[in-house]
Amino acid sequence: MQYLLLIYDNEKVWADMSPEESGKLFGEYMQFSKEIRESGHFIAGEALQQVHTATTVRSRNGKTTTTDGPFAETREQLGGFYMINAKDLDEATAIAARIPSAKIGSIEVRPIQAFEQPAAMK
Amino acid sequence: MQSVAAIETVFRQERARVLATTIRVTNGDFDLAEEIVQEAFAAALTRWPTEGTPAEPRAWLISVARNKAIDTIRRRVKLRAIVAAEDPVDTADPAELVAVPDDRLRLIFTCCHPALAPEAQVALTLRTLGGLTTEEIARAFLSAPATMAQRLVRAKSKIKEARIPYEVPEASQLAERTDAAMAVVYLVFNEGYAATAGDAWFRRDLCSEAIRLGRLLVELTGDPEAKGLLALMLLHDSRRDARTDAAGDLVLLEDQDHASWDRAQIEEALALVPDALRPANRPGPGPYSLQAAIAALHASAPRAGETDWPQIAALFGELMRRHPSPVIALNHAVAIAMWRGPAAACR
């Protein structure tokens, strides 16, 4: 069973950290990624550029609009993700709790929806 | 030969247990399991009156439900022709399946999983373990049946799609998860006990249902704090007839006629309190056990004037030290005031 772990934290908290503090947290991320690769849970995982670099695209009635943003006034922003394999939700949440940002932000755990492939496409 | 009424009594007694095992066989598919249990009971209704009631009705029902579950899953697998996508069917021997400890414990922990919203935990627990209908749950909680039905559908869908495990939690999480299950049971009880609105008959039913679930938690976990919770509910509920006067107005504890309290229920509760206060699995007595000890002292007073206030004040002090809250602080002060006068309480 696959889960996407979405990492939300406050970019300002990161920006306000001393180099020692952010270096320590970064080290914890390296260690965590190494551990879940070795345990076989890891499928993918990346950090994202800051939210001010984001662009939002919408297609309506054949017309595409591209805007800067999102400008959601939320305290926490999507900052990265891990895609993992876990046997059930309890295992997935236990792994999510070990993500270093769980201490300063929050992790959203989303099961991946499996679509059955139509026979013709196989 | 058995009457339909007698068979229905068996259903009521065995439904939760048969359902709990069937959910395990269907790999956590609550909807499919409910449907199959319904079919198993329908089969009993047609077969038992002519073939006679089996020696072990529960084993019969579980084995019929299990076979139906396996048939249904096999049919689905064949239909889709994607054998790999379907989890392997539980192929345990029927005797073994019936002999396993008790699947109701898995059911409790799954229904009271922290990944479900508290109101969904309550609804699902009443639906699956209590066997209440969606309409009954909606009536008890003063919500529209459609809203309650949707809440149940969402919860069952989350269990399936997010794969909330159908398992008893591992030892390191057991105490915490038992606390969550106890919170659900106590919420059901309070809904029946504290609220003044709604259908009085259903509210009393909710209290009995909570007590039944409380007994089940004690039976299945043996957790001393679960004994404390059961004792607390039994003690509160023992005063159900004394709490309101003929006009339906609330009667305060000090004005209640102690003779109208349910003595048998009080005795049952008092026997649970010593165990509850000496838990081996926790650092000290939990909040339900301490509150049960306080309620036990109230219940043991022959008249309102003879309540053991020093002891009650000491227990509230302990409760305040371990689980502080403004309500506990207030109750602590009241107990001291009853014991040594208002001046001491203000200190």
Chain A hits for B77, CB-CB cut-off 8 Å, are: none
Question: CA nearest A108: which of A4, A2, A6?
Answer: A6
Question: In which band, very low, low, confident or very high, does the pLDDT at B97 lie, cut at 50, 70 and 90?
Answer: low
Q: How far is CA B332 from CA B93, B254, B258, B302, B337, in A?
A: 57, 17, 23, 22, 9
* Average pLDDT of chain B, as a whole number: 85
Q: Report yes or no for ipTM above 0.85.
A: no
3-state secondary structure of B325: coil
- Model confidence over B28-59: pLDDT tens digits? 899 999 999 999 999 999 999 999 889 999 99
Rounded average pLDDT over A82-108: 96
Among chain A residues, the shortest Cα distance to B114 is held by A90
DSSP state of B162: T
pLDDT of residue B200 exceeding 80: no
A interface with B, Cβ–Cβ < 8 A, is: 1, 87-90, 93, 109, 111, 113-114, 116
Q: B79 or A29, which is more confident?
A: A29
Taking each helix axis from N to C end, the angle separating B4-25 and B30-51, rounded to the nearest 10 degrees, works out to 140
Using CB atoms, which residue from B80, B82, B115 is nearest to A89? Answer: B115
Burial tier of B51 (Cβ tally within 10 Å: 0-12, 13-18, 19+): exposed
pLDDT of residue B99 exceeding 50: no
- Model confidence over B282-331: pLDDT tens digits? 788 999 999 999 999 988 887 777 888 999 999 999 999 988 888 888 88
Q: How far is CA B153 from CA A60, B27, B146, B157, in A?
A: 32, 17, 10, 6
Tokens of B135: 């309409």
pLDDT for res A122: 46
Contact A89 B80 (CB under 8 A): no
Question: In which band, very low, low, confident or very high, does the pLDDT at B347 lie, cut at 50, 70 and 90?
Answer: low
Residue B222 falls in which region: left (phi positive, over 0), alpha (psi -120 to 50) or beta: left
Question: In which band, very low, low, confident or very high, does the pLDDT at B202 lie, cut at 50, 70 and 90?
Answer: low
pLDDT for res B165: 92
pLDDT for res B289: 95
Contact A116 B82 (CB under 8 A): yes
pLDDT for res B287: 93
Structural domains of chain A, ranges and CATH numbers in brackets: 2-115 (3.30.70.1060)
Tokens of B341: 């006068």
* Average pLDDT of chain A, as a whole number: 91
Rounded average pLDDT over B62-86: 77
- pTM for the model stands at 0.79
| Separation between Cα atoms, residue B345 and residue B347, nearest integer Å | 5
Question: In which band, very low, low, confident or very high, does the pLDDT at A121 lie, cut at 50, 70 and 90?
Answer: low
Chain B hits for A113, CB-CB cut-off 8 Å, are: 161
pLDDT of residue B104 exceeding 60: yes
Using CB atoms, which residue from A1, A113, A116 is nearest to B85? Answer: A116
Question: In which band, very low, low, confident or very high, does the pLDDT at A31 lie, cut at 50, 70 and 90?
Answer: very high
DSSP state of B250: B
Contact A88 B82 (CB under 8 A): no
Half-sphere exposure of A39 (CA within 13 A, CB side): 15
pLDDT of residue B101 exceeding 60: no
Question: In which band, very low, low, confident or very high, does the pLDDT at B346 lie, cut at 50, 70 and 90?
Answer: confident
Question: CA nearest A93: which of A2, A1, A5?
Answer: A5
DSSP state of B169: P
Find tokens 């509210």 and name the residue. B203
Chain A hits for B115, CB-CB cut-off 8 Å, are: 89, 93
Rounded average pLDDT over B123-148: 88
Could you tell me how many CB contacts below 8 A there are between chain A and chain B? 26
pLDDT of residue A90 exceeding 80: yes
Other Cβ atoms less than 10 A from the Cβ of B279: the count is: 19
pLDDT for res B155: 94
Chain A hits for B82, CB-CB cut-off 8 Å, are: 116
pLDDT for res A119: 56
Report the residue of A3, A4, A90, A108 to disrupt the B interface, i.e. the one with the largest count of B CBs within 10 Å: A90
Question: In which band, very low, low, confident or very high, does the pLDDT at B81 lie, cut at 50, 70 and 90?
Answer: low
pLDDT of residue B92 exceeding 70: no
B interface with A, Cβ–Cβ < 8 A, is: 80, 82, 85, 113, 115, 161-165, 167, 169
Structural domains of chain B, ranges and CATH numbers in brackets: 1-100 (1.10.1740), 102-212 (no CATH)
Report the residue of B163, B167, B173, B177 to disrupt the A interface, i.e. the one with the largest count of A CBs within 10 Å: B163
Chain B hits for A88, CB-CB cut-off 8 Å, are: 163-165
Per cent of chain B over pLDDT 90 is: 43
Tokens of B46: 């047609």
Lowest-pLDDT choice from A89-98, B83-92, B141-150, B152-161: B83-92
pLDDT for res B196: 55
Question: In which band, very low, low, confident or very high, does the pLDDT at B190 lie, cut at 50, 70 and 90?
Answer: confident
Report the residue of A88, A91, A110, A116 to disrupt the B interface, i.e. the one with the largest count of B CBs within 10 Å: A88
∠ CA A10-A16-A18 to the nearest 5 degrees? 130
